[in-house]
């Protein structure tokens, strides 16, 4: 397949490259519309009991969540005549705003106790949208915040709620994305000049990376027309697009130069590059695609979005590196080395420091393995303190108006009156005695403050229960599980914010084994086909798990325990991390680690197949690939590290986690542990039953 592809590229290089450029321009033009179509939510399990309860609340009981929640602060108390007059004027004015369906406040609800603060100086004003379309809810939040957040006569107004948070998080991520790209792209290009040694060659990764990003924007835009996609997916697209563009371009350009410097013609160099480095890029990309595709298995739109985005950008990066880049190299030919600024380019030597390092490690394999395991264990130790939660306004900088409003709500309205547990009993109108007995048992559960009034609509019954703890906390999850153990009337559904959070965690826990099984089986099969070994794939997965454990330990130490703010930037320490974000970091880090594993094993396998001994194939393979891996890892780490400039904690954590995992993997794991273990296993590294060898590829 790769032989034929190389021949086609050599024969049709100009046509292929022209078509590719046109496709990229069109993708960028259409895909730019994606920025207004993305969702800041998507953390719920749509098939859970809480989701079914939500459907009953909206369709049967006509309960709507406010798009905007205003906290109205008064000087002399909410019952002061002057405050009442100003608040009434404020509410009447808001009712006239475009997009507002209705409002509800402490004053218009006749002094409802659940709508006032504990000190009696502030009260809620809820604003309901006339449309449930996500774009319109965000727009309403934006408009209300812009017009009313601040002073209104003698009142102080703080804007919060779904629409405001959605607008705040989308705006912040878009701004942070521009900032990180404005720093990472120029810095990466400068470093690429140093790595490649020339201006022409250093532009190659940007061709692959930028085209993958623009193409992914188009695909994601098309997806938004049929399903929800998280705004956070944009960061993964830019990070992986630039990062894999660097990785794959380094591999392709380096091999092309190597073939040219060996005296081969441009045509033959392209064919050999596609058949060797191109094959490695293909299998490397396939490994990452398999890993990231596991995210699509999770029920939450938030995680599915990263699966869609990750798989798309990887496929497009592989396509760019495997087709467009060789076509351009064919056009450039020997001019790839033009405009040289550093003569000692990345073209590897037969022998050098990396080969010497490998031989040094292989002379002391047991000591190196033991020391490496001790370091990884120490780094992983804090993971026992990891506490899971869910994204809320605290991921925004504390100075953000939306985050400030949420903080005021938690301080002045400490009860959970606005986040009750919703108990829905379908066809329960005739079950009065049974429902009373059921709710009496619920009232006895620790954490339940009181049972609210019941509501009947047709044959269905709704009862609320007020709890004391925050709704998106481990304590709330425990409470929901306890409530669901109580014998309930047939068909009873428990919903509300706390139940939604609990169902999210439960859904993730149920899906996790299947996702892990998918990744393990997929990677094992792929690496076996690629290496022809049973031992190497198993060893690769074990090493990646150890590396991942160390990464999660350091993330816990920083983002749960609150250390190293001077390095990653300030953030609100909540004592927990978002479950979905941790899964994302783990999957992306695992996939990229496998990327470098394929890079290294490909060259070692090629040398071993050429007749070298196990030790020499490892030394030569490391010498020829380690400089590429190190350069690629360093540049990719810079791309993701730029995300630490974000004011959104989950993006900051993604940037740090992936950057740390990449650097740890490229240094401790690939440079030390892999050669040491290859030495300990010897020729057994390449063992597989003879009957299975026919399913492997030649290098």
- Token pair of 547, please? 């590396």
* Residue with more model confidence, 98 or 470: 98
Beta bridge mates, 230 = 39
Asked if the model's pLDDT at residue 198 lies above 80, the reply is no
Provide the pLDDT confidence category of residue 372 given band limits of 50, 70 and 90.
very high
- Alpha carbon distance 158, 409 (integer Å): 9
What average pLDDT does range 597-620 have in this prediction?
84
What average pLDDT does range 167-188 have in this prediction?
82
Contact call for residues 503 and 50 (beta carbons, < 8 A): yes
Half-sphere exposure for 239 (CA within 13 Å, toward CB): 31
22 C-beta neighbours (distance < 10 Å), count: 10
Q: Which of 155, 313, 135, 346 shows the shortest CA–CA distance to 234?
A: 313
Indicate the SS3 state at residue 126.
Answer: strand
What average pLDDT does range 635-660 have in this prediction?
89
Of 301-310, 485-494, 539-548, 614-623, minimum mean pLDDT range: 614-623
The rounded mean pLDDT for the chain is 87
pLDDT computed for residue 231 by the predictor? 82
Of 129-143, 492-506, 515-529, minimum mean pLDDT range: 129-143
Contacts of 602 (CB under 8 A, 6+ apart): 279, 280, 283, 530, 625, 699
Q: Which of 214, 279, 303, 374 shows the shortest CA–CA distance to 582?
A: 303
- Alpha carbon distance 589, 577 (integer Å): 17
Provide the pLDDT confidence category of residue 429 given band limits of 50, 70 and 90.
confident
In 11-143, the DSSP E strands lie at 68-73, 100-105, 122-129
Indicate the SS3 state at residue 249.
Answer: helix
Asked if the model's pLDDT at residue 86 lies above 80, the reply is yes
512 C-beta neighbours (distance < 10 Å), count: 14
pLDDT computed for residue 214 by the predictor? 93
- Alpha carbon distance 444, 17 (integer Å): 71
Contact call for residues 601 and 609 (beta carbons, < 8 A): no
**667-to-659, 660, 661 alpha-carbon distances in Å:** 12, 11, 10
Phi first, then psi, for residue 463 (nearest 5°) are -130, 140
- Alpha carbon distance 38, 224 (integer Å): 7
Compute the chain's Rg from CA coordinates: 29
What average pLDDT does range 575-586 have in this prediction?
88
* Residue with more model confidence, 179 or 159: 159
Contact call for residues 580 and 302 (beta carbons, < 8 A): yes
Beta bridge mates, 69 = 126, 160
Q: Does the domain made of 420-495 have the CATH classification 3.40.50?
A: no
What average pLDDT does range 147-152 have in this prediction?
92
515 C-beta neighbours (distance < 10 Å), count: 21
The pairing of strands 388-389 and 577-578 is: parallel
What average pLDDT does range 75-99 have in this prediction?
92
Q: State pLDDT tens for residues 272-294.
A: 999 988 998 999 999 999 999 99
What average pLDDT does range 513-526 have in this prediction?
94
- Alpha carbon distance 431, 408 (integer Å): 41
Asked if the model's pLDDT at residue 19 lies above 60, the reply is yes
Q: Which of 360, 188, 270 shows the shortest CA–CA distance to 13?
A: 270
Q: Which helix (H) or strand (E) holds 16?
A: helix 13-31
Question: Reduced to 3 DSSP states, what percent helix, strand and coil does the chain have, rounded to the nearest 5?
Answer: 70, 10, 20
- Alpha carbon distance 229, 312 (integer Å): 13
- Alpha carbon distance 199, 476 (integer Å): 57
Indicate the SS3 state at residue 64.
Answer: coil
pLDDT computed for residue 292 by the predictor? 95
Phi first, then psi, for residue 679 (nearest 5°) are -70, -40
Asked if the model's pLDDT at residue 126 lies above 70, the reply is yes
pLDDT computed for residue 305 by the predictor? 93
pLDDT computed for residue 422 by the predictor? 92
Asked if the model's pLDDT at residue 512 lies above 90, the reply is yes
What average pLDDT does range 242-264 have in this prediction?
87
Q: Does the domain made of 2-36+167-392+504-695 have the CATH classification 1.20.1640.10?
A: yes
Indicate the SS3 state at residue 423.
Answer: strand
pLDDT computed for residue 390 by the predictor? 76
As a dihedral over the C-alpha atoms of residue 184, residue 188, residue 190, residue 192, rounded to 10 degrees, the angle is -170
pLDDT computed for residue 349 by the predictor? 58
526 C-beta neighbours (distance < 10 Å), count: 20
What average pLDDT does range 237-257 have in this prediction?
88
- Alpha carbon distance 358, 355 (integer Å): 5
What average pLDDT does range 443-458 have in this prediction?
88
Tell which phi-psi region holds residue 625, choosing left (phi > 0), alpha (psi between -120 and 50) or beta: alpha
Q: Does the domain made of 67-160 have the CATH classification 3.50.50.60?
A: no
Asked if the model's pLDDT at residue 314 lies above 90, the reply is yes
Contact call for residues 270 and 199 (beta carbons, < 8 A): no
pLDDT computed for residue 417 by the predictor? 65
Q: What b/e string do you get for 577-597 counting C-beta neighbours within 10 Å, with b at 16 or more?
A: bbbbbbbbbbbbbbbbbbbbb
Residue with tokens 């309403």: 140
Provide the pLDDT confidence category of residue 537 given band limits of 50, 70 and 90.
very high
- Alpha carbon distance 316, 216 (integer Å): 7
Asked if the model's pLDDT at residue 351 lies above 70, the reply is no
Of 229-233, 365-369, 496-500, 695-699, minimum mean pLDDT range: 695-699
- DSSP for 568-616? H------S-EEHHHHHHHHHHHHHHHHHHHHHHHHHHHHHHHTT--HHH
Contact call for residues 663 and 550 (beta carbons, < 8 A): no
Q: Which helix (H) or strand (E) holds 495?
A: strand 493-495
Contacts of 498 (CB under 8 A, 6+ apart): 419, 421, 467, 469, 471, 472, 476, 477, 479, 480
Beta bridge mates, 457 = 460
pLDDT computed for residue 416 by the predictor? 60
Indicate the SS3 state at residue 488.
Answer: coil
Please state the domain extents for the chain: 2-36+167-392+504-695, 67-160, 420-495
CATH topology identical between 2-36+167-392+504-695 and 67-160: no
Indicate the SS3 state at residue 465.
Answer: strand
- Token pair of 440, please? 């009496």
């Amino acid at each position: 397949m790769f032989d034929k592809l190389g021949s086609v590229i050599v024969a049709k290089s100009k046509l292929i490259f022209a078509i590719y450029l046109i496709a990229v321009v069109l993708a960028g033009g259409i895909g730019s519309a994606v920025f207004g179509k993305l969702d800041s939510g998507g953390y719920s399990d749509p098939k859970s009991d809480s989701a079914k309860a939500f459907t009953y609340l909206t369709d049967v009981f006509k309960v709507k969540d406010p798009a905007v929640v205003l906290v109205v602060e008064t000087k002399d108390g909410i019952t002061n005549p002057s405050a009442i007059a100003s608040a009434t004027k404020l509410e009447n004015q808001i009712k006239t705003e475009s997009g507002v369906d209705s409002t509800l406040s402490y004053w218009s609800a006749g002094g409802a106790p659940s709508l006032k603060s504990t000190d009696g100086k502030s009260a809620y004003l809820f604003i309901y949208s006339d449309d449930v379309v996500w774009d319109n809810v965000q727009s309403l939040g934006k408009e209300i915040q812009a017009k009313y957040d601040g002073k209104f006569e003698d009142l102080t107004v703080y804007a919060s709620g779904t629409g405001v948070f959605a607008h705040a998080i989308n705006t912040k991520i878009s701004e942070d994305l521009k900032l990180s790209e404005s720093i990472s792209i120029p810095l990466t290009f400068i470093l690429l000049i140093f790595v490649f040694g020339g201006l022409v060659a250093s532009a190659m990764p940007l061709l692959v990376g930028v085209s993958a990003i623009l193409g992914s924007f188009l695909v994601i835009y098309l997806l938004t027309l049929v399903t929800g996609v998280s705004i956070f997916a944009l960061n993964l697209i830019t990070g992986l697009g630039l990062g894999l563009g660097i990785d794959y371009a380094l591999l392709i350009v380096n091999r092309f130069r190597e073939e040219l410097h060996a005296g081969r013609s441009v045509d033959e160099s392209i064919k050999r590059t596609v058949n060797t480095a191109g094959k490695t890029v293909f299998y490397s990309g396939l490994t990452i695609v398999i890993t990231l595709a596991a995210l699509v298995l999770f029920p939450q739109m938030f995680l599915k979005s990263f699966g869609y985005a990750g798989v798309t950008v990887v496929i497009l990066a592989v396509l760019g590196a495997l087709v467009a880049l060789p076509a351009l190299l064919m056009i450039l030919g020997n001019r790839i080395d033009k405009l040289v600024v550093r003569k000692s380019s990345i073209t590897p030597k037969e022998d050098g420091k990396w080969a010497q390092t490998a031989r040094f490690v292989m002379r002391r394999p047991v000591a190196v393995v033991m020391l490496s395991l001790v370091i990884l264990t120490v780094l992983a130790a804090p993971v026992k303190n990891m506490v899971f939660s869910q994204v809320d306004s605290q991921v925004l900088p504390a100075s953000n108006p939306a985050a400030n409003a949420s903080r005021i709500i938690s301080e002045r309205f400490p009860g959970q009156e606005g986040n009750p547990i919703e108990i829905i009993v379908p066809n329960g109108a005739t079950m009065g005695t049974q429902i009373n007995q059921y709710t009496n048992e619920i009232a006895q559960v620790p954490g339940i403050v009181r049972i609210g009034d019941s509501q009947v609509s047709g044959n269905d019954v709704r009862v609320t229960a007020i709890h004391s703890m925050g709704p998106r906390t481990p304590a709330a999850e425990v409470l929901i599980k306890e409530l669901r153990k109580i014998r309930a009337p047939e068909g009873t559904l428990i919903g509300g914010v706390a139940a939604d959070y609990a169902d999210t965690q439960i859904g993730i826990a149920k899906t996790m084994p299947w996702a892990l099984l998918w990744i393990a089986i997929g990677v094992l099969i792929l690496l076996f086909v690629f290496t022809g070994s049973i031992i190497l794939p198993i060893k690769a997965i074990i090493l990646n798990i150890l590396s991942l454990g160390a990464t999660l330990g350091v993330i816990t130490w920083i983002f749960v325990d609150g250390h190293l703010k001077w390095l990653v930037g300030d953030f609100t320490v909540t004592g927990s991390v978002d479950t979905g974000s941790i899964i994302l970091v783990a999957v992306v880090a695992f996939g990229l680690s496998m990327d470098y594993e394929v890079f290294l094993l490909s060259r070692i396998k090629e040398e071993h197949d050429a007749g070298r001994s196990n030790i020499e194939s490892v030394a030569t393979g490391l010498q020829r690939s380690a400089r590429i891996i190190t350069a690629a890892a360093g540049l990719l780490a810079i791309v993701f590290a730029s995300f630490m400039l974000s004011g959104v904690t989950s993006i900051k954590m993604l940037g740090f986690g992936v950057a740390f995992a990449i650097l740890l993997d490229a240094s401790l794991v690939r440079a030390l542990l892999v050669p040491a273990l290859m030495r300990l296993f010897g020729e057994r590294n390449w063992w597989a039953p003879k009957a299975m060898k026919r399913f492997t590829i030649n290098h």
